[in-house]
Structure formats: structure tokens, C-alpha cells
């Protein structure tokens, strides 16, 4: 079934909030997300940050211990401008260098976003960068399910339930898998970026409101530990933690489990394949929990 | 001037060792490196590990405070097999999962390396992976200059002087820049990998002896803080430290300095460009110091 | 006013739960806490872990931006036995050594707790330790207020709101200060330990149910960033985070702010005093967030 | 045998330097150390920093795989003033707070050191601290043996060989054990502090030149992994690494090995004893490698 959903309210935590809509296994939703500050397609600030979530969506038939698959069918900016904070975040550089950086509070610039042309361009040319123009790669910064144990987790951070991972690989065409911790999974989505560098090291992508279409599917009796995903070329796993070392360990462990449990590799094969073919992406190195992604090319997976 | 150099002895530290050869600014060297265990092209173990270094090469005219540019003209395996350790390294996974991994001591397998075909293939087919075959991408695991302050640093680890960075981006065609800490720079090189996944998470690439050709150039009165490099598409910086967070901070800081000092960007422009266009690669997540690489696409650099 | 409070239900998160009792500024409460698994004074398991909380207590007059002072008037075991998990936690040792440790799941032993004699003694003598006997030092493992931003945070972990800090300095006679994030502060308390080593490195203290008496006080318009405390000899600050480095940075920053804002020290004086007189205690190195405590002896504080 | 030794030169690395004096097992040495900047008892700068080492002392009969015991018989300042850097080090606080700290370069103040009275007093009274006066607790900041593998390690940092641990527990009466990596061990010593807070968080103790008397002893065929020590009340182990988490893991592992190998505890007993009786001290949180110390009270050790 296909749902058009217009959000009436937004949440700043992922938790057990009243469902905004109930979906069946296989349903598709077309909806919108406001930007990280709560500004909608018209630029009006309709709610408050950080990262207001559309949803949650109750997925009938999803029970704790299951996995929720979410296919990102289409992610598209629904207005023609975004914004970024400019200075590097203080935690992303050496402590003495952080002392040389500008104050972050008011240091925000706009980008023009041209979906048809597929580019974003600095709204005001800069002294040396000029009207820097970068290719669009619209992505979802924050999405996931209600966490375990009755927690409600801020959309500023992330965990096994997903959340504010700020990984620029969460683009159209990707399917993401989340562990289900509560009845109905309670899927939340928001925080669109028109594009973003690795690590979100200035603390923002090109922040923008979005039109989003996604399809949910329940995988019964399949339990995973961390978000997983796949695109045309890779399967991947996501670890969210601080320090970055631990995020990497979570992602690596989750991939090793996947290869062992679903592809039947023994521990030596896991090490051979991952040791020589794994690729890692840096999600974010800004939020309270950092994000690291471990990828394996599909073409090397056993049939 | 072009030098054919046949190493007579090898070093397991980067330090102030007697120069093996003196080079002039602009000279090119064709030489060989043994593998991480000291095995040469014939498979004979001619020296001991870890990561025996060919060199050091004294570069006339290189003084402390200068930069040494090393162009990796050609890196090619000079035998038809390599080896890997199979299990994931214990530090790369969650502590409880590490308890499920096999012992690493004797868990080594061979790969056939076919330079003409450009592939490496598992020598003994594995139960599920079969004769896994991966594209060659020959790289240098460990190279760099004598460190500052009279230190001699093990080839097991890395620092501002380079060393055992195990970054799979150090391939033919790349130019690497090292800070010069001592007269003549004292360049060392070794530890070839026929290919390697990101992070060297099993503790090895496909370890192999190499024929290496490189060209040195001295950049007088140019002082850098960490290794830098460039290839056809990117300029990049390298941070080596534990935890991975600090490696990332070093690499990010070095890139910010580069963009500021050589490209004239102010701190807001640095943040805009890096925040939206930086890419990070994981060098190694195995050695005592981890390695993180920060890259900026050339096409977005100001002219 | 003095309240006898018998808990009817318990919570496994610190969050905006319905108040169990409303207190006025200055009120004292005498109540009980079950142990980390939900076992009460009689040993009956009346609720589920982890770390069930008594409360929350709504403190009238406490508003966001205020500080809540909680004096731990008396903490006393209310049964004659406790339990510990025996093996070291895997994350507290080097990854290769973790592989040599026993499974933790069923590795639990009892201690006899003799409040009159002030000691705990192993219930079953061990081969070499015999009937190890240690002095009691009853403490609160987990307590704090409802967090900011609508979060509900598991009692397994900690943050600026307090929570599962597992610091063995939280004993009778200590006053603890928490930031107030919600109306009424919503104070929770539980997870008693008859004693505990630094770091809670086996994942438990001597876990026991408790009788607890505490007094609350509201400090209006006083905003703090992290839990603070004081005892007869020290003032102290508490940082909760992973890695331990960040916990230490939070605690150090909070102490520097305290000395600056309340004692009028300039930044040089802060550095002089802290650099030469600070003492650090390790709270826990087991929970998802670690805890580090920074202390300054009262006798060196300016009058 | 008792040696009076007057240093003629100093080293800024721990490494295989020419022995300054050869000692027999059991010999005692009375010598002097300059301060961290190379200033001697008269205040003259006789060599350069960082942390110039007296020695190295070749201990006859010490072979790789042995342990060198060094008893710190007496550590006493040999001049009447020391110096500290005042601001907190930038890495010891949150990144945004680091931006509020003063520049460190010239921020140095003197302390008067009165050995007879047992106190140090700020030389120039400060606005609020006045003439802060603290009890002396003379300690050695940097000492150890030549490292393994031909390395020469800067006296700015530390490792399994000891080095710049800056732990305020290295005082008179303590015996320290170092792994022996090279023939004769090659013991170095220097970097005295009249006193120091935990963590050396301003980057210095009260830096001072010292008269030092120590006695060496070789323990043949006893191999340890990290420095160990003992005083009247505790046995302790020292881990040196970054992040602090890893320093703690090294110290914890080394203590677990000690209890297992020398006291015969099984893994459950190790966890019981350490979990409930271990104490941790923070050595330094400033140097490239941090230092964490794990202690067990002697009175709980099995006989």
C-alpha cells in the first residue's frame, strides 16, 4: 500500500512515541522531513531542533528480535536552498589548532540547491573558494527505530537503533536494516542533507528539508546487532560509538557476524575476505557518538 | 641521476643509521624490498622482521625544517606469491567477539600473485570462499624518514616521520611528502603489499617482496607537520596515532593548515570546503599507531 | 519534612516518569533500593534489572537551570549478603588477555555482609584467597535526575544527569549536586554496593539492597554542567563518557569552571592549583559511559 | 658497592647509549639529575630538554628477559626553587573550554622549595591563591631502561620500558621493576618534581633538579610486560599508552598476570580481588603516552 503522509508534529528523540501512521509489511510512504533546525520546504520554522523526526511509523508485524528493512526509494530536497555551519568543529582537530578556529555560533552560510542541475552552489562567493559548486548527493542524516529498554535517545546522537549517524552513504537506492526493539519498530526519519563531506566535520551537511519515499519490510526472527545496509556494489554495517575506535569495532564485528551467519564463512575465511577486501567509510566525527561503516564488495561474496 | 641499488642490510627502526646511498635532489632509485618477515624475491629469509627497511638514503641538501618529496614511480611485486595472516586482529572487534576468533600465531595462508594478469588468488581454495581472486594494487606499507630528537622508531609503528602506516593508497603514481628532521632526511622503504583491505584488520596485506623505483626531491624551507601526498585526483594528509580519533585529528589539522598556508583559504573557507568535500580513508587499525587519511579532490581547490 | 517512602515500582531508565513522591526544598526521605537485579531486602526478585531505580522524586521549586543538592545522609545494606560477578570484564584488559578470561555469564559468588562488624566476607572460601574479608564502604552505584531534551537514559549508563556512575566515593556523608533539566528535577536512586574497587572492573561491586536516607535542596539559578560533590576533605566533579579520556576532560573542565566561577580564580590560578593539587579517582571502567572524578582538597581552596 | 656518580652528559632518549657507569647487582648509586629544561642545582642550564637523563647505567648480569629492580632510596631536591607551567594543558579539558585557556608558551611561575620544612610555596603571591603552600613529595618523572628492538624513545613519552610516566607515586621508598630488553638493561633517570598533582595536567610538576640515590638488583629469568612497583602498602603496575583506556588496560592486564603467576590466583580469584580491592592512580594525562597505575593493597594478598 502506498501512503501519502503529512507530518503534524515532530520528535527530537527516537523513542516510544505515539505512532503517527501504521504501516503493513511492504508498504511505501511518501512524506516530508524538515531540516535540522525545524525549517520546512517554505523555509518556515515549524518545530525545534535538533533534527526533528517525522514519524514514528508503526510497522505491523514487527516484533522485538526481528529486523526492519527500510528501502530509501527516493530522497529529494524540496526547497532550493540549504545551510552549513562553516568552521571545523573543535573536536575534529588537534587541541592547539582548535584554539585558532572561529566561533561557531553564528557562522552559517547558505547554499543554492539546484535539483535539476544536480548541484549546490555557495550563495555568497567566498574570497578564495568563489562560488564553490558541488554535486548533490541527497542523504538522510538521522533515522532509525525506537531503542531498547524503554530509552528515548536524542536525535543528536546514535546507537544500535540508528539515529543521527550522518553517513553520506544513506542515499536513494540504499536499503537499511535496523534491529527491532519494540512492537511495531517505530521508525523515525529526518535531517536531510543535500550533500555532505565524510565525517560531517563542520557539524553539518548542506542542511535542507526533503521529500522522502521509503518502503518497509519486516524480516521475522532475524536478529541483528547494529544497522546494516546494502547498495548496488556493497553490503555494509554501521557502528555508532565514541571513540571512533569503538565505532569501528562495532561495525567490524557486525560484518564478521553477517559473513559467518548468512554467508557461512568460517573465522579464517571471514578474516581473509575482510582483511583484504573490506572498505571503511567515515560516517560522522562530530555527534556525541561517531559512526564508522564497514563495507564488503558484493562481487567477492560467496554465492 | 638514476641509481640501481642492491640492499646489503636492513633496519627494523627508522633512525639515524649509516646511509646506504647518497642521493642528489632529483635522483631516482631502483631497488628492492624484502617482505615483512625479511623474505626476498627468491623466498629466502635474508633478515628478520618486523618490516625490514631498505636504506636509509641520504638526500644531499635536505635539512631539518625542509620537506622531502618522494614520488613512487613504480611498485611491483618481484615474486609470484605473498602471504596473509587469516584471523581478524583482536583489537579490531568488540572484546567479547575477540574471544571467538582463532589463534593468530600459525594462521597464515599463501596467495598466488600474477603481476601480468593483475590479480592475486588464494593458493589453497577455502571451503566457502573458494579460490578468492582479488585485483592487485601494490603498495608500500612502511616508509619514511629518520624521526626528530634522536629517536629510532620501530618499523612496527608510525608517527610524523611516516613509518608503518599500512595505507593502501601508497601506490605507484603517488607523491608523498615527509617532514625532514635530520640532515639528509634518511629515507627508508619496505614492507610491500600486493594488495590490502582498508585498515589492515587481519594485521597483514598480501605480504610480498617488491621492486621499487622512486624519485626524491627536496623542498627547501617548507615545513610540514605530518606526511602529505597527492595523486591524480586528490591531495591528502596522513595522521598516525592512537586512538583513531587522534589520527583523524592530526590528518584534519594538517589538511586545514595546507589549505590555509598554500591555498590561501581563511578559516571559514577551510571549514566550508573540508566540511562538504573532504573524504577520509582508513590506513591501518592494527599497528601501535593507527593511520587516518584526509583527502580533498583537486577539482575543488582554488587555482 | 521527613518522608518514609516505600517504593511500589521501579524504573530502568532515568527519565520523565510519573513522580512517586513530591518533596519540598529541604525535605528528607528514608527509603529502600533493590539490588542491581531487582532483589529486595528479603532476597526476593521484585522487579527486573538493570539497576532498578526508586523514585522518581519530584522536588518542588526545582526548575531547569537550577541545581539539585542531594545529601546522602545514610546508606546502609538492609540484608546480610551481596553478590559479585567474578571475572574481570573483557574491556578492562588487553584484547589478547581477554581471550584467557572465563565466561562471565554464570560466574557469580556471594559475600556475607556484616554491617555491625563493618566487613564483607566471601561466602565460599576460594582456593588461594580463602575467605577474603574486606571493609564495608556502602555506596550508591546509580542515581541522578531526568536528563535534558526528553531523553530517557538507561540505568546501565550515565551522563550529565548522573546515572550509573559506579563511583565508590558516593558514600554516606557526601553531598552531590546535579543539574536540573526538567521541572521538579525527578530524582532517582538505586544500585547499592556494600563495597567496590575502583573502576568496577569485574562489572559489579558487592551488589546489595539498601536502606537509604537523603535530603534534597534546590539551588536556584545556579547552573552546572556535570555532577559535582563534596565530602569532608574534597570538592569534586564527575565526568561520564567514553573513552575515559573524555570523562577526564569533562571532570577537569567542570572543576576549572567551578574554581573560576565560585572561587574567583583566574585561568593561571586554576592551572596552578589543579596542576599541583588535583587528585583523580576512577569511577567505573565498565559501563557504556566511563566515570572519572576530579578532586581538589578543601584546605587549598581560597577562603 | 656504593658509587658517587657525577653526570658528564645527558640524553633526551632512552636507548642504547654508551654506558656512563657499570654497576654490579646490588650496587647503590648517589647521583644528580637536572630539571626538565636541563637546569642543574645552581640553576645553570647545562644541557637541553626535554627531560635530560642521567646515565645510562649498565647493570652487569642483566640480560634480555630479566627484570631490573630499582629501589628509590632517596629523592631530594638539591636547590631551593622549582618552576611550573601555569595553564591547564589543552588536551586535558573539553575542546571548547580549551579555547578559553591562556597561551602556554611563556606562562611559567616559580615556587620556593624548602626541603627542611617539607613545603613548596608560590614565589609570587597570586590574586586569589596568595602564596599557595603545598607539602613536598619529591618524585621522579622519567626513568627506565633501553627499549626493545633497537628503539630510542624520546624522554617526552613512555612505554613498556618506562620513560616519562610522570606518576607522583614514584617517591623515596618505592621499588620499581622494569623489563630488561638489552644487555645491561641501561638504566636512565631524571626529571625530578618537588611535587605534582595527579595527571600532570598543566604539563609540569614543580620541576626541579635532584639528588638521587638508588640501588639496582637483577632478577634473573623473570620476565614482566610493564613496569611494576611496590611500596609499604601496595603492589602496583603501570600502563603507558594513549588513549587512557589502553593505559588502564595494560596496567590491569599486568596486575592480573602478576596475581596469577606469582600469587597463584585463578582467573576467578583475580577478578574477585581486583574487582573489589583494586585502586587506580592517574599518572600523567599530558605526555604523548598517558599513564595509569593499578594497585592492590598488600594486606589482601595471599601469603
Task: Give the pLDDT confidence score for residue B59 in this predicted structure.
Answer: 98
Name every chain B residue with its beta carbon within 8 A of the beta carbon of D13. Answer: 149-152
Of C88, C264, C272, the CB nearest to D274: C88
Q: Which residue of D has its CA nearest to A100?
A: D99
Could you write out the DSSP letters of every residue in D6-21?
Answer: --S--BSEESSPPPSE
Q: Which one of D85, D90, D92 makes the best mutation probe of the C interface by having the most chain C beta carbons within 10 Å?
A: D92
The reply to whether residue A149 touches residue C154, judged by beta carbons under 8 angstroms, is yes
Please tell me if residue D105 touches chain A, with a CB cutoff of 8 Å: no
Contact between A203 and A163 under an 8 Å Cβ cutoff? The reply is: no
- Signed CA dihedral, B23, B26, B30, B32: sign only: positive
- What's the Rg (C-alpha) of chain A? 19
A89 CA: distance to closest CA in chain D (Å): 9
Residues 114-133 of D with CB under 8 A from C: 122, 126-130, 132
The reply to whether residue C245 touches residue D245, judged by beta carbons under 8 angstroms, is yes
Hey, what domains does chain C have and what are their CATH numbers? 2-80+136-219 (2.60.120.580), 228-300 (3.10.28.20)
Task: Give the pLDDT confidence score for residue A187 in this predicted structure.
Answer: 99
Q: Which one of D95, D243, D286 makes the best mutation probe of the A interface by having the most chain A beta carbons within 10 Å?
A: D95
E strands within B116-255?
Answer: 119-122, 133-135, 139-145, 153-154, 158-159, 162-164, 175-179, 187-193, 207-208, 210-219, 228-230, 234-241
Task: Give the pLDDT confidence score for residue D105 in this predicted structure.
Answer: 82
End-to-end CA distance of chain B: 32
Identify the helix (H) or strand (E) that includes residue D250. Answer: helix D244-263
The reply to whether residue D197 touches residue C275, judged by beta carbons under 8 angstroms, is yes
Mean pLDDT across D30-37: 98
The reply to whether residue C272 touches residue D102, judged by beta carbons under 8 angstroms, is no
Helices (H), ranges, D65-111 = 95-98
Task: Give the pLDDT confidence score for residue B193 in this predicted structure.
Answer: 98
Share of chain C above pLDDT 90, in %: 99
Contact between D188 and D11 under an 8 Å Cβ cutoff? The reply is: yes
Please tell me if residue C59 touches chain D, with a CB cutoff of 8 Å: no
Q: Is the pLDDT of residue C303 over 90?
A: no
B204 CA: distance to closest CA in chain C (Å): 17
Contact between B133 and D131 under an 8 Å Cβ cutoff? The reply is: no
Q: Which residue has the cell 536524542?
A: A154
Residues 243-282 of B with CB under 8 A from D: 243, 245-246
Q: Which residues of chain B have pLDDT under 70?
A: none
CA gap C61, D254 in Å, rounded: 51
Name every chain C residue with its beta carbon within 8 A of the beta carbon of B96. Answer: 90
Cell of D135: 607539602
Could you tell me whether strands A210-219 and A67-77 are parallel, antiparallel, or unpaired per DSSP bridges? Answer: antiparallel
Cell of D289: 603516552
CA gap A154, C152 in Å, rounded: 9
Please tell me if residue A91 touches chain D, with a CB cutoff of 8 Å: yes
The reply to whether residue C98 touches residue B91, judged by beta carbons under 8 angstroms, is no
Work out the pLDDT band at C151, boundaries 50, 70, 90: very high
Task: Give the pLDDT confidence score for residue D157 in this predicted structure.
Answer: 98
Long-range contacts of A43-46 (CB under 8 A, 24+ apart): A43/A79, A43/A81, A46/A10
Q: How far is CA D281 from CA B59, C207, C273, in A?
A: 47, 24, 19
Please tell me if residue B139 touches chain A, with a CB cutoff of 8 Å: no
Which is nearest to A75 in space by CA: A112, A29, A127, A9?
A29
CB atoms within 10 A of CB D220: 12
Contact between C161 and C153 under an 8 Å Cβ cutoff? The reply is: yes
The reply to whether residue B99 touches residue C90, judged by beta carbons under 8 angstroms, is yes
Mean pLDDT across D275-300: 98
Q: How far is CA D158 from CA B162, D166, D170, D292, in A?
A: 20, 9, 14, 12
Paired residues of A26 in beta bridges: none
Mean pLDDT across D181-203: 98
Q: How far is CA D284 from CA C228, D50, D204, D240, in A?
A: 23, 16, 10, 9
Task: Give the pLDDT confidence score for residue D215 in this predicted structure.
Answer: 98
Cell of D91: 588536551
Name every chain A residue with its beta carbon within 8 A of the beta carbon of D98. Answer: 90, 95, 98-99
Over its length of 303 residues, how does chain A's per-residue pLDDT go in tens digits?
999 999 999 999 999 999 999 999 999 999 999 999 999 999 999 999 999 999 999 999 999 999 999 999 999 999 999 999 999 999 999 999 999 999 988 899 999 999 999 999 999 999 999 999 999 999 999 999 999 999 999 999 999 999 999 999 999 999 999 999 999 999 999 999 999 999 999 999 999 999 999 999 999 999 999 999 999 999 999 999 999 999 999 999 999 999 999 999 999 999 999 999 999 999 999 999 999 999 999 999 998
CB atoms within 10 A of CB D244: 29
Cell of D180: 630488561
Contact between C138 and C195 under an 8 Å Cβ cutoff? The reply is: yes
- The burial class, CB within 10 Å (0-12 / 13-18 / 19+), for A303 is exposed
Could you tell me whether strands B175-179 and B228-230 are parallel, antiparallel, or unpaired per DSSP bridges? Answer: antiparallel
Show Cβ contacts of residue C230 under 8 Å, excluding neighbours closer than 6 positions.
Answer: C174, C175, C236, C298
Task: Give the pLDDT confidence score for residue A105 in this predicted structure.
Answer: 82
Paired residues of C91 in beta bridges: none
Q: Which residue of D has its CA nearest to B290?
A: D242
Please tell me if residue B19 touches chain A, with a CB cutoff of 8 Å: no
Of B122, B244, B300, the CB nearest to A243: B244
Give this prediction's pTM.
0.98
Name every chain B residue with its beta carbon within 8 A of the beta carbon of A139. Answer: none
Task: Give the pLDDT confidence score for residue A170 in this predicted structure.
Answer: 98
Please tell me if residue D17 touches chain B, with a CB cutoff of 8 Å: no
Long-range contacts of C95-104 (CB under 8 A, 24+ apart): C95/B90, C95/B91, C95/B95, C95/B98, C96/B90, C97/D253, C97/D256, C97/D257, C98/B90, C98/B95, C98/B98, C98/B99, C99/B90, C99/B98, C99/B99, C99/B101, C100/D267, C101/B99, C101/D267, C101/D271, C102/D267, C102/D268, C104/C203
DSSP annotation of A147: P
Contact between B247 and B241 under an 8 Å Cβ cutoff? The reply is: yes
The reply to whether residue A278 touches residue B199, judged by beta carbons under 8 angstroms, is yes
Task: Give the pLDDT confidence score for residue B303 in this predicted structure.
Answer: 82
Longest dimension (CA), chain C: 57
CA gap C138, C118 in Å, rounded: 10
The reply to whether residue A128 touches residue B248, judged by beta carbons under 8 angstroms, is no
Contact between B282 and A251 under an 8 Å Cβ cutoff? The reply is: no
Q: How far is CA B178 from CA A179, A301, B64, B225, in A?
A: 46, 38, 11, 8
Cell of A227: 544497522
DSSP annotation of A89: P
The reply to whether residue B12 touches residue D149, judged by beta carbons under 8 angstroms, is yes
Work out the pLDDT band at D303, boundaries 50, 70, 90: confident
Residue-wise pLDDT tens digits, A213-266: 999 999 999 999 999 999 999 999 999 999 999 999 999 999 999 999 999 999
Q: Which residue has the cell 526538567?
A: C182
Helix (H, G, I), strand (E, B) or coil at C216: strand
E strands within D94-166?
Answer: 108-114, 119-122, 133-135, 139-144, 153-154, 158-159, 162-164
Task: Give the pLDDT confidence score for residue D206 in this predicted structure.
Answer: 98
Q: Is the pLDDT of residue C106 over 90?
A: no
B153 CA: distance to closest CA in chain D (Å): 5
The reply to whether residue A151 touches residue C149, judged by beta carbons under 8 angstroms, is no
Contact between B111 and B81 under an 8 Å Cβ cutoff? The reply is: yes
Mean pLDDT across D257-286: 98
Cell of D175: 621499588
Amino acid at each position: 500500500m502506498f501512503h501519502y503522509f503529512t507530518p503534524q508534529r515532530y520528535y527530537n528523540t527516537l523513542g516510544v512515541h505515539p505512532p503517527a501512521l501504521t504501516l503493513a509489511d511492504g508498504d511505501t510512504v511518501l512524506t516530508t522531513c524538515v531540516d535540522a533546525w525545524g525549517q520546512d520546504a517554505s523555509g518556515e520554522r515549524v518545530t525545534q531542533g535538533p533534527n526533528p523526526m517525522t514519524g514514528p511509523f508503526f510497522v505491523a508485524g514487527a516484533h522485538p528480535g526481528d529486523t526492519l528493512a527500510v528501502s530509501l526509494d527516493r530522497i529529494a530536497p524540496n526547497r532550493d536552498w540549504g545551510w552549513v555551519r562553516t568552521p571545523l568543529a573543535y573536536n575534529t582537530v588537534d587541541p592547539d589548532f582548535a584554539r585558532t578556529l572561529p566561533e561557531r555560533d553564528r557562522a552559517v552560510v547558505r547554499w543554492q540547491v539546484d535539483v535539476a542541475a544536480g548541484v549546490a552552489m555557495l550563495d555568497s562567493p567566498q574570497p578564495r573558494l568563489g562560488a564553490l559548486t558541488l554535486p548533490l548527493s541527497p542523504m538522510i542524516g538521522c533515522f532509525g527505530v525506537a531503542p531498547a529498554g524503554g530509552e528515548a535517545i536524542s536525535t543528536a546522537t546514535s546507537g544500535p537503533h540508528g539515529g543521527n549517524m550522518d553517513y553520506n552513504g544513506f542515499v536513494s537506492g540504499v536499503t537499511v536494516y535496523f534491529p527491532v526493539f519494540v512492537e511495531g519498530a517505530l521508525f523515525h526519519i529526518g535531517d536531510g542533507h543535500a550533500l555532505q563531506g565524510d565525517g560531517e566535520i563542520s557539524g553539518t551537511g548542506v542542511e535542507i528539508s526533503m521529500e522522502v519515499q521509503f518502503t518497509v519490510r519486516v524480516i521475522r526472527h532475524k536478529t541483528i546487532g547494529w544497522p546494516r545496509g546494502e547498495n548496488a556494489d556493497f553490503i555494509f554495517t554501521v557502528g555508532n560509538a565514541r571513540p571512533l575506535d569503538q565505532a569501528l569495532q562495532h561495525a567490524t564485528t557486525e560484518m564478521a557476524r553477517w559473513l559467518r551467519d548468512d554467508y557461512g564463512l568460517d573465522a579464517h575465511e571471514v578474516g581473509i575476505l575482510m582483511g583484504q577486501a573490506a572498505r571503511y567509510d567515515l560516517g560522522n566525527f562530530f555527534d556525541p557518538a561517531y559512526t564508522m561503516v564497514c563495507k564488503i564488495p558484493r562481487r567477492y561474496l560467496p554465492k
